[in-house]
Amino acid sequence: MRIDKRCVGCGQCIAFCPKNAIIVKGNARITDDCIQCKICMAYCPMKAIEESA
């Protein structure tokens, strides 16, 4: 999973992440704690979270 430049730092992804695997300070990033559940993708209003290639 990765967060692209569309991220506006709203924090919706953080609020719904069951593993608290997202950090939005400066550049938003997804940590190694991510379990690939994709819940964050569903709640991101900017659709800034994408699956890694």
What topology is assigned to 2-50 in CATH?
A: Alpha-Beta Plaits (3.30.70)
Q: What is the pLDDT of residue 27?
A: 80
CA 40/CA 12 separation, integer angstroms: 8
First-to-last C-alpha distance (Å) of the chain: 9
CA 45/CA 24 separation, integer angstroms: 15
Q: What is the pLDDT of residue 25?
A: 84
pLDDT tens figures, 1-53: 999 999 999 999 999 999 999 998 878 899 999 999 999 999 999 999 999 86
| Residue 23: φ, ψ to 5° | -120, 125
